[in-house]
Structure 1
């Protein structure tokens, strides 16, 4: 049975039935009624009332993004029309708070929930304060600037109608508007110029940029000048950059693009987290990228990239990586690289490193032996991942015996030893269970593990992989430690890192 309507709900419903009365009453409406009334008008798509309420909004920030999806063009136009009304007003309404920030981010849900659920109209100051982002509002040509905040994830090759309309609208109001996009993600290779899109935003306000899906070198170079303007960028993720296939692309054109892109790293004064995945041009150029950085990195993830001997040599002594808390070199092949270089890198990170991922690096026994002394001193480690490497039972036992100092570890992922496979590479279940049980006992002899996985190579027939694991050892009786399971990977899942996202079938 639904709850009865309150008097306030009935009053709001009655007011919204008369559009002219509702709009004329806004200047006399108690500020406590604005959020629930706005929410009701929003649900009913009463666009004229919404526009009027935006212009009369009594708080400094309107967190409309918690209510709307950006692709609703009708609602977007109504909200922007209201902002136009506000901008055009010579004398803004005499209220204690006046709209300065229109927030399209999907955040501040608590603001609406608390206001809408408060019968007496009293809202905690904390709820109001949490929706007031700290924003500098400059004056342009003597006019007070209104701020629009948003985060964008552009998955399509085309700009949607709503974003096209917003960009057109914002370009016409540059003298009275600043648009702040703190997090920007480009998906598919665009059919538009990404630099033109950046002209709408304040580049120095972008803190998180992701280029994530098969851009070619030329498109990334097109974005490069905009990247250099992102003075406050803290996190940069670049994924899957490939070489254009056009025959007219000569070596000089490629080198020009390389220079355009790599130079911009010198402008990123506040970069702390750098993720480079499947970026082909990194090979033999890593020093050019890292040398240009001004401040130490906290995160460095170079994955599915080919690195040269000179790259690893520079990385092992680079001044900007000595404070790393997160190092991910997954799928960087170390077969043809000097193994002491990885040891030297870990030696520099013993005091700071918390996450280490060396998955799929084709590490072999002799390479693991070399890094063990440095690894055993990384006492801040919380997570390690050594899966998809070629290690014997003896080598894995050595590795586990050298983790006595790593008492902070909460998640450990190791490859199943080579001895668990038959001549054609299939897992022998009994041997798998026996070897992994030995490894777990070896580990428990030096410290009390929390969450540990031993993972086989993926089966070529069923596309699954075998996992021997222990979770929450301190809460589990010893006889339950040894569990053999086959994890069947869903067709879209290619990385067994996310074991919690797949179905585990215990035999």
Structure 2
């Protein structure tokens, strides 16, 4: 084994660049293929080779080797996002795929084993200080038993944090006896100024079933050997009290995004929560979809509540992304967004019952020329919204990367009116037009007019109206599109024709698809 490792190290330093990296990774795969041999050899392996061994182990699902690598990690930071990116050793991008549940668990177990080892006073200086788990893929659209969801990661690490805190406290106070259910008092009994710790940078996803354990973990986190530090916080189906309790425990400087959805907070609840968000000085993204906000017919009291909400939004000095999807905001965009001091770069207003005055304001606002992502899905963009939408597209053309206009009742004629503006969006990467009553002819016209967009990579298009087996009811609704049957043979033929046109134009780098769930769309914060 030692002879192999010496040869492996020699390869690392002396092979020609044209073949060195592929050989290094192949050697790394060979090294991690046998756990027992790897375990014996780890102390002889140069620390510079740990990253490539980690990636080879993760891709090969060598969980025991992963655990040993983490336990012996020789650097202050272990970042999954960096280790699993494409690199000079391997072009694979596992960070872009759903991560193996067993591998993520192995990393966590390795950190816990490492902490127990150092806390036990073994002859070894503490090296690892930060485990960075942010950026792991989790679309929450389907359950995959082979992968670990963000919710599961949150629960697993929360339990680990509480458990190791309890062990640490009992070690510091061996004679103390704890009553069952007394975990919430652990923070007070931990030894002050604990120097043995690993900080876990992660995204948190919590709902009503996991809020209790996360709250316990955050309460002990500041003095625990395992310390949770949140970057993006997402909460679903939580009461105002539970949400506030968690927000109060998050670090003010580390939060980048707060996503509160399906919480039924309404304007009164949001007005209670927003003042707590001003402490997050690095907050870039605020998502508040599906929160039962309707401003169309307000009482005098609720008018004051809306004005307060707008005022609180204006205090979020770093905000660049705002999602108010499924709020009924008819005629109120000027009031809501007019107080923002800096331009938004991502704005999601899906199913917001917008009026022409809303889009007119938006086209004339400081936000228009800065927008990189715009989602107006579910708003009727036909007349009378078509003209102000054209003006908005014209203003946003220089910056727009992502445009969602699904379920907007756009027909061939409307699409034709938008094509001159779309053709000017030279940086556009994604266009979503699913569930619009467009014909095959309209799609081909769209394709021909977007071929010149150099950065375009993905278009989610609707089933053409002429591919349905029966006439669609009018006015056409999204449910009509989804419930009506279509001719699969016709649809396949249309798809083949679109692919042929792309091939003829040498634009096979552009994906045209009717599957809105399969393809990863643009996340503003990943830019």
2:314 aligned with 1:266, yes or no? Answer: yes
Residue 450 of structure 2 corresponds to residue 354 of structure 1: no
Q: Look up the match of 1:159.
A: 211
Structure 1 distance, partners of 2:363, 2:416, is 18
1:48-447 correspondence runs (5 A): 58-59=126-127, 61=129, 63=131, 69-72=157-160, 73-78=162-167, 87-88=192-193, 102-105=198-201, 151-156=203-208, 159-161=211-213, 163-169=214-220, 181-190=230-239, 192-217=241-266, 218-242=268-292, 251-280=299-328, 282-425=329-472, 426-442=485-501, 446=505
**Residue 319 of structure 1: CA displacement?**
0.9
> Which residue in 1 is equivalent to 2:138?
none
CA contact (8 A) 1:377 1:405 kept: no
Instruction: Give the aligned partner of residue 3 of structure 1.
Output: 36
Q: Which residue of 2 aligns with 1:122?
A: none
1:278 is displaced (CA, Å) by: 1.5
Q: Identify which range, 35-44 or 432-441, moves more after superposition.
A: 35-44
Q: Deviations over 1:49-99 (max 9, x none)?
A: 775669x9745825498996212432232357779766358xxxxxxxx66
Larger strand proportion of the pair: 1
The 5-angstrom pairing of residues 29-48 of structure 1 reads 35-36=71-72
User: Could you say which residue in structure 2 is the equivalent of 1:497?
Assistant: 516
Tell me the TM-score normalised to structure 2 length: 0.60
Q: Quote how far apart the aligned CAs of 1:415 are.
A: 2.1
Q: Secondary structure at the match of 1:303?
A: coil
What is the CA distance between 1:322 and its match in structure 2?
Answer: 0.9
341 and 3 in structure 1: CA distance in 2 versus 1, 3 angstrom threshold: same
Separation of aligned partners in 1, 2:390 and 2:436 = 17
Mapped contact 2:284–2:321 kept (Cα < 8 A): yes
Give the total of aligned pairs.
378
Partners in 1 of 2:502 and 2:317 — Cα distance?
43
Q: Which residue of 2 aligns with 1:452?
A: 511
Report the CA distance between 1:276 and its aligned residue: 2.7
8 Å contact from structure 2 (residues 351, 379) kept in 1: yes
3-state DSSP of counterpart to 2:232: strand
- C-alpha distance in 1, partners of 2:488/2:218? 59
Larger radius of gyration: 1
Distance 1:50 1:220, change over 3 A: farther
State the shift of 1:6 in Å: 5.9
- Decide whether the 8 Å contact of 2:382 with 2:414 is kept in 1: no
Q: Which runs of 5+ in 1 are unaligned?
A: 11-32, 90-97, 106-149, 456-495, 502-507
Structure with the larger helix share: 2
What CA deviation, in whole Å up to 9, does each residue of 1:173-206 have, x standing for no partner?
8xxxx98533211111226343343333343442
